[in-house]
């Protein structure tokens, strides 16, 4: 029996084997369901086509902006929804369920650019940018990574020299999402006193150039770019006053990393939901493949891991709401949910057999998209090292060989 892509989507209820929804308030469930409804109606029908053509879904932006997701936890005085972190996370998971490209756009716009302005910006900067960004009328990006500075952003070499009462930025950034159509870029650069500092660079600045990275095999409908800053002049008030040193980038990354943890959960949920529906309908050897023990084992492993991730996600969100979430817990959260999602996507792909590699069934898209998520916001290795340091007290980021006795004497 042929199972069509539409056939895998007849039911649209979030997978919830252990009734994790019972831990949610009515408002949190309503926010989740509203995003789910939007994603089913607007995103899923067009996502595979956008992905295939590597076309950014500009048409969806106003609808996404209406949902309240962007800067969802920031207050209404900045035009944001003022949700709690659990509601924000549930909404991200639903968006990621529909498209890992669109959720990546969200992590850049909301998790990084808006969060940097909200946490580190002046009141004027917040009032100028956040309301438009919340509605996706203004687009932002976040330029930290460089061609030679990835996991180790402290080694970045972009410079900001003081000139004429402002700054001149020079350097290169790699992997910067949204930068080719951004109104504002948060750019991290080293000032003359060797401090990492954040600047707001407007997209039409003649010294700001962004080129989309071609031939990408993950998150094809989101655009990452190579940015060149060539004698890019910005005024003094373009500096984010709260951005001094690497620590200030890390506080923003912690917020974004939190959202990315929920992204892994959302993509895993979609893979499981599609695989379960497919297995119930697809018949081989005269019976639905869902009746075979080996297929059931795969489905059970998926739902088991998803259930644990759901509990962890809600707990981490509650900690964040209580102001008790530390960076190492966020690292463990991101690492867990995304690594599990990676396995779940591969298993779901297997359950769909040959159809699993057809884009219209969406599982292969998630499988490829999760590879990008696995790397950004700290690779699994980097997050492991953060957790390792938290539990042992030893920092193992750049192990040096033990000094030999004769070297010590010299
Ligand atoms: C899809 C996508 C979107 C992105 N969007 C943005 C964005 O909008 N803005 C932005 O600033 N950046 C962005 N990035 C960059 C991202 O943050 C970096 O790719 C990431 O930090 C890893 O850096 P790297 O790619 O240079 O890999 P590297 O740092 O070169 O790492 C290569 C490998 O070495 C391992 N490794 C590195 N250091 C250690 C260590 N000490 N111990 C053990 N293993 C180690 C890594 O885990 C990895 O497996 C994006 C990346 C991707 C893929």
223-239 tens-digit pLDDT: 999 999 999 999 999 99
Of 68, 103, 134, which residue constitutes the final position of a domain?
Answer: 134
CA angle 164, 118, 68 (to 5 degrees): 135
- Determine whether the shortest distance from the Cβ of 372 to ligand 1 is under 6 A: yes
Q: Does a structural domain hold residue 397?
A: no
Q: Does a structural domain hold residue 179?
A: yes
Which residue stretches of 203-326 are H helix?
246-281, 293-321
Give me the percent of the chain exceeding a pLDDT of 70. 97
Per residue in 248-264, pLDDT tens? Answer: 988 899 999 999 999 99
Distance from Cα 102 to the centre of ligand 1, integer Å:
20
Q: Are residues 156 and 231 in the same domain?
A: yes
Amino acid 340: pLDDT: 98
- Determine whether the shortest distance from the Cβ of 188 to ligand 1 is under 6 A: no
Which ligand 1 atom is at minimum distance from the Cα of 142?
9
Is the pLDDT reported for residue 408 higher than 60?
no
Range of the domain at 196: 140-244
Per residue in 25-74, pLDDT tens? Answer: 999 999 999 999 999 999 999 999 999 999 999 999 999 999 999 999 99
- Determine whether the shortest distance from the Cβ of 175 to ligand 1 is under 6 A: yes
Q: Are residues 263 and 387 in the same domain?
A: yes
Is the pLDDT reported for residue 368 higher than 60?
yes
Q: Are residues 299 and 364 in the same domain?
A: yes
Amino acid 405: pLDDT: 52
Confidence of residue 410 (pLDDT cuts 50, 70, 90): very low
Whose Cα sits closest to atom 31 in ligand 1? 151
105-109, 242-246, 276-280, 288-292: range with lowest mean pLDDT: 242-246
Is the pLDDT reported for residue 401 higher than 70?
no
- Determine whether the shortest distance from the Cβ of 382 to ligand 1 is under 6 A: yes
Of 118, 134, 150, which residue constitutes the final position of a domain?
Answer: 134
CATH classification of the domain holding 219:
2.40.110.10
Q: Which residues are within 8 A (CB) of 83 and not within 5 positions of it... i.e. 6 or more apart?
A: 31, 68, 72, 73, 91
Q: Does a structural domain hold residue 151?
A: yes
Amino acid 14: pLDDT: 87
Amino acid 39: pLDDT: 98
Q: Are residues 257 and 124 in the same domain?
A: no
Q: Does a structural domain hold residue 1?
A: no
Which residue stretches of 286-362 are H helix?
293-321, 327-351
Q: Give the strand pairing for 159-163 and 196-202.
A: unpaired
Q: Does a structural domain hold residue 279?
A: yes
The label of the residue with tokens 């997209």 reads 203
Q: Are residues 205 and 270 in the same domain?
A: no
Rounded Cα gap, residues 248 and 229, in angstroms = 22
- Determine whether the shortest distance from the Cβ of 145 to ligand 1 is under 6 A: yes
CATH classification of the domain holding 321:
1.20.140.10
Amino acid 154: pLDDT: 92
Q: Are residues 182 and 215 in the same domain?
A: yes
Distance from Cα 3 to the centre of ligand 1, integer Å:
38
Q: Does a structural domain hold residue 124?
A: yes
Say if CB 311 and CB 19 are below 8 A apart: no
Q: Are residues 254 and 370 in the same domain?
A: yes
- Determine whether the shortest distance from the Cβ of 111 to ligand 1 is under 6 A: no
CATH classification of the domain holding 40:
1.10.540.10
* Mean model confidence pLDDT for the chain: 96
Q: Does a structural domain hold residue 54?
A: yes
Per residue in 166-186, pLDDT tens? Answer: 999 999 999 999 999 999 999
Amino acid 402: pLDDT: 58
Is the pLDDT reported for residue 287 higher than 70?
yes
- Determine whether the shortest distance from the Cβ of 381 to ligand 1 is under 6 A: yes
Whose Cα sits closest to atom 53 in ligand 1? 372
Amino acid 126: pLDDT: 98
* Helices and strands in the chain: count of H runs, count of E runs: 13, 9
149-158, 314-323, 381-390, 397-406: range with lowest mean pLDDT: 397-406
CA angle 141, 145, 150 (to 5 degrees): 150
Q: Are residues 201 and 75 in the same domain?
A: no
Per residue in 7-30, pLDDT tens? Answer: 898 877 889 999 999 999 999 999
Torsion-angle region of residue 194: left (phi > 0), alpha (psi -120 to 50) or beta?
Answer: left
Across 267-277, average pLDDT:
98
Rounded Cα gap, residues 185 and 181, in angstroms = 10
Q: Are residues 239 and 252 in the same domain?
A: no
- Determine whether the shortest distance from the Cβ of 388 to ligand 1 is under 6 A: no
Whose Cα sits closest to atom 23 in ligand 1? 150
Rounded Cα gap, residues 293 and 297, in angstroms = 6
Of 226, 244, 262, which residue constitutes the final position of a domain?
Answer: 244
Rounded Cα gap, residues 352 and 247, in angstroms = 45
Across 127-146, average pLDDT:
98
Report how many domains make up the chain.
3
pTM > 0.85 = yes
- 361 HSE (CA, 13 A, CB side): 28
Say if CB 232 and CB 168 are below 8 A apart: yes
Q: Are residues 288 and 369 in the same domain?
A: yes
Q: Are residues 306 and 200 in the same domain?
A: no
Q: C-alpha distances in angstroms, 120 versus 125, 239, 244?
A: 9, 10, 9
Which ligand 1 atom is at minimum distance from the Cα of 108?
8
Q: Does a structural domain hold residue 404?
A: no
Distance from Cα 219 to the centre of ligand 1, integer Å:
15
Q: Are residues 80 and 24 in the same domain?
A: yes
């Amino acid at each position: 029996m042929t199972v069509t892509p539409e056939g895998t989507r007849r039911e649209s209820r979030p997978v919830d084997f252990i009734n994790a929804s019972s831990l949610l308030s009515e408002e949190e469930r309503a926010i989740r369901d509203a995003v789910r409804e939007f994603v089913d109606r607007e995103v899923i029908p067009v996502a595979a086509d956008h992905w295939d053509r590597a076309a950014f879904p500009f048409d969806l932006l106003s609808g996404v902006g209406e949902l309240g997701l962007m800067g969802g936890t920031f207050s209404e005085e900045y035009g944001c929804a003022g949700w709690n972190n659990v509601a924000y996370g549930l909404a991200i998971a639903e968006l990621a369920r529909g498209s890992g490209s669109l959720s990546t756009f969200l992590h850049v716009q909301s998790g990084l650019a808006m969060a940097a302005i909200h946490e580190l910006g002046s009141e004027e900067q917040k009032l100028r940018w956040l309301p438009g960004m919340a509605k996706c009328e203004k687009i932002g990006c976040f330029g930290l990574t460089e061609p030679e500075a990835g996991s180790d952003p402290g080694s970045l070499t972009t410079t900001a020299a003081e000139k004429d009462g402002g700054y001149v930025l020079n350097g290169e950034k790699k992997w910067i999402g949204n930068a080719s159509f951004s109104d504002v870029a948060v750019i991290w650069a080293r000032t003359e006193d060797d401090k990492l500092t954040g600047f707001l660079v407007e997209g039409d600045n003649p010294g700001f150039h962004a080129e989309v990275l071609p031939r990408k095999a993950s998150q094809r409908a989101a655009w990452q770019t190579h940015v060149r800053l060539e004698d890019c002049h910005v005024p003094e008030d373009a500096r984010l006053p709260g951005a001094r040193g690497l620590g200030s980038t890390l506080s923003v990354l912690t917020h974004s990393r939190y959202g990315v943890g929920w992204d892994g959960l959302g993509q895993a949920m979609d893979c499981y939901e599609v695989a379960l529906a497919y297995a119930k309908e697809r018949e081989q050897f005269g019976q639905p493949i869902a009746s075979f023990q080996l297929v059931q084992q795969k489905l059970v492993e998926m739902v088991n891991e998803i259930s644990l991730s759901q509990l962890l996600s809600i707990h981490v969100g509650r900690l964040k709401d209580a102001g008790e979430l530390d960076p190492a817990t966020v690292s463990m959260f991101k690492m867990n949910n995304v690594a599990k999602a990676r396995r779940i996507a591969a298993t779901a792909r297997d359950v769909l057999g040959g159809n699993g590699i057809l884009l219209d069934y969406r599982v292969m898209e998630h499988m490829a998209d999760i590879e990008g998520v696995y790397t950004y916001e700290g690779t699994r290795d980097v997050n492991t090292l953060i957790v390792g340091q938290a539990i042992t007290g030893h920092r193992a980021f750049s192990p040096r060989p033990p000094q030999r006795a004769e070297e010590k004497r010299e």
